[in-house]
Chain A
C-alpha cells in the first residue's frame, strides 16, 4: 500500500462561475477529503488560482491532477510536496478583554508573527500567521484563556520549482 503524503495542488483557472463545483467534483468522485482550500487572483490577469491541501498517495494525486487539467476552464494544475513549497496560513483569535493585560498572554504573543489587530472594551483580536504547526501551537497556548472565536485560513503557497503557466499561456494565445 502506497503511503499517504501531504500534497499542495495549485490549479490555474479561468475566473468563471461554477468552476469551483467542477473542480471539487473531481476530488469528490475519488472520495478525497480536502484539508484546506484557498482561492485568489493569480499573477496572470483574469486567471484565478486554487490552492488545495490533500493527504493522499502520490499515484492518486497524479491522476487527480490529470483529471483536473481535463476540465475545459482549467488552464494548468500542478501538485507539490511539502519541501517544494513555501507556504503560510493565517489565523484570528478573539479573546475577552479581561485577559488583555494578562502577563501570561503577553508571553504567548512573543510568537514571531502574531500581533493584536483590534482592541475593544469587550474583546481583542490576535492575528497570527505561519506554518500549520505554528498556528496549532498558538492555538494550544491561547485556548486556556477562552477563545470567543477562532478562525484559520486555508494554505497559500508559492512553489520553489518554476510552474510553466505563463509560458503556456503565451503559447496558446
Chain B
C-alpha cells in the first residue's frame, strides 16, 4: 500500500514541471486555447514578455501603439469570435491605460482577460515606481479581478479568470501579477475551472415562468419584441428566429443586438432607441405585450421611463437576475440563458399571425422613409451624406462585412443603415460610447475573422483619438478597410449644440491633419473623396483591395441624425426633423 502511494506521488511529481510564474502564464493561456494577445511591454511585465519571445512559434503577440489600442483590439476580436480577448500591460500607466477599455467591455458584456504586471510584492503600497492600485481602480469596472503575489497561484487564478470572463453574462477580468511572482517558481499543472462556489453563471430555467410567458404571448393582440446582444452572446440566433417566425411578432433591435437577425427579415422592424427607427419607438407605446430578450432597457433605449410602454405587460428574458426590474418593471421574468429559454418556449407558444399590427409598423416605416431615410440614402443636396456612404458600402459588400463603428453621428448612421446578413457583424461601443474604439477594434476583428471583410467607420474626432494604431497596422499588415467620415466637427455634440444650445458650437469645430498623407506615412493606400460622382468607384476600389485601405469621405458639415428622441422625452415623441 505504501509503495503504491509512493508510486502515485512520484507519477504526479513526474507530470509536474518546475517553471517560472512568467512561463506558467503562457502555458496557462495555451491550455485555454489562447494563442493571440494584444499588449504593450514595460518593466513590471518583462518576465512574461520574455516568455512570449520564447514561445513565439506557438503564441502570437500584437504590439499596439497604446494600451487603449490593445484592449479595444482584444474587444474587437472577442466580439466577432465570441472567444475571450487577451491583453497584457505593465504596471502603473500601462494598467491605467487599460481602464477605458475595461469599462467599455464591462458595460457591453465583452469577455476579456487582462494581465497586468505589478511591482514586487515587498514594494506594494509604498508608491513605488510605476505602482498603482489597479485592483482598486478596476474593481467597479471588472466582472472579477485578483492580485497574484505568489507564482504558485498563477494556474488556478488564470483558470478561474477564463471561466468567469466567458461564462454566464461575459465580462472583463483583470489579473495583476507582482514581478516576484513572475520570477518565482512553481510545480506546474493545469486544470480548467468549471465552477466557482459563490458564482452561479447560468440561472436554472424555471418552466413555470416560461409557461406563464407563453400564455401571455398567446393572448397578445399587439405583441412587440425588443432584442439585445444577449441573443448573440447566448448563440441563440436560430432559436430567436424560430420563435419570432412561429409567433409572427414584429421585432426590433438595440444597437448591440444588431445583426443577430438579418436586416431584411420581414419581421425585423429596425432599431429602437434615441436614433432608432420611427415605427418601433412609437409603437413601443402601443403594444399590449412587450417582450424584451437579452437586453437591459438602457436609458438610450427607453427615453423617459415614466412614459415607457406603460400600457404594456412586460416579459423580460435575461441571464442576469440583477437586470430584472432594474429600469423597467417586469410582469414576467424568465431568468435563464436565452438559447435555452427560447428553445423551451417554442413548445408552449401558438403559431399566430399579426398582419394588422404589422401593417402599423409598415405605415410608420413609410413615413420615416419619406421624411428621413430616402433623403439620407439618395440625397439630392450637394454635400455627401453619411447615409449614402453606408449605402455604398452595403452595395459592395452585400451585407457580408463586419462593420466596426466608432462613436458619434457616423455610428448611428452605420447602425441605422448597414445591412447585416450574418451575426456578430456589428462591432461598436454601445454602453460606454468610447470614442477611439473603432480603429483598434477593427484590427482585432479582422484578426478574429480573417476571411471576412472588416470595414471601420470612424468620425474625424474619434479617429484622432487612436489613429496612432495605424502603426500597429503598418507592422501587422492587417487588411482592414478604414473609412473616415470627415465633417470637420465633433458631429454629434455639434448636433446637440444646434438643437439645444442655440447653435453655440463650443469647441466642436475640428481642424484635422491631411488624413490621406497620414495614412500614406504608414504605408497605407489612401484616397479622399468629396464629390458624389467619385464615391461609388472609391468604395468599389477599397473593397476590391486585398490590402489595408484608407478612404476619407468629406461629408456635409451640418448633417444631423434623425429620427431623434431628445433626452428625457418619451419614445413615442420621437422627432423626424
Q: A residues touching B (Cβ–Cβ < 8 Å)?
A: 13-14, 17-18, 21-22, 25, 28-29, 62-63, 66-67, 69-70, 72-75, 169, 172-173
Contact = CB atoms under 8 A, between A and B. Distances in A.
A25 B320 CA distance: 19
B320 A14 contact: no
Interface string B292-328: 0000000000000000000000000000111011100
Contacts of A21: 135-136, 139
A17 B326 contact: no
A113 to B, nearest CB: 36
B325 A72 contact: no
A160 B391 CA distance: 64
A25 B321 contact: no
Contacts of A172: 195, 197, 200
Contacts of A28: 140
Contact of A72 (B164, B321, B322, B324): B164
23 contacts: A14-B197, A17-B147, A18-B146, A21-B135, A21-B136, A21-B139, A25-B139, A28-B140, A62-B325, A63-B322, A63-B326, A66-B322, A66-B324, A69-B321, A72-B143, A72-B164, A72-B196, A73-B144, A73-B198, A74-B198, A75-B198, A169-B197, A172-B197
B200 to A, nearest CB: 7
A13 B198 contact: yes
Query: Per DSSP, are chain A's interface residues mostly helix, strand or loop, or mixed?
Result: helix
Contacts of A14: 197-198
Nearest to A63: B326
A18 B148 CA distance: 12
B572 interface: no
A25 B140 contact: yes
Given A62-B325, A70-B322, A75 B139 contact: no
A75 B200 CA distance: 9
Query: Which 10 A/B pairs are nearest by Cβ-Cβ distance?
Result: A66-B322, A25-B140, A75-B198, A72-B144, A70-B322, A72-B199, A21-B139, A67-B322, A14-B198, A73-B198
B139 A66 contact: no
Contacts of B325: 62-63
Contacts of A66: 321-322, 324, 326
A53 to B, nearest CB: 22
Nearest to B322: A66
A28 B140 CA distance: 10
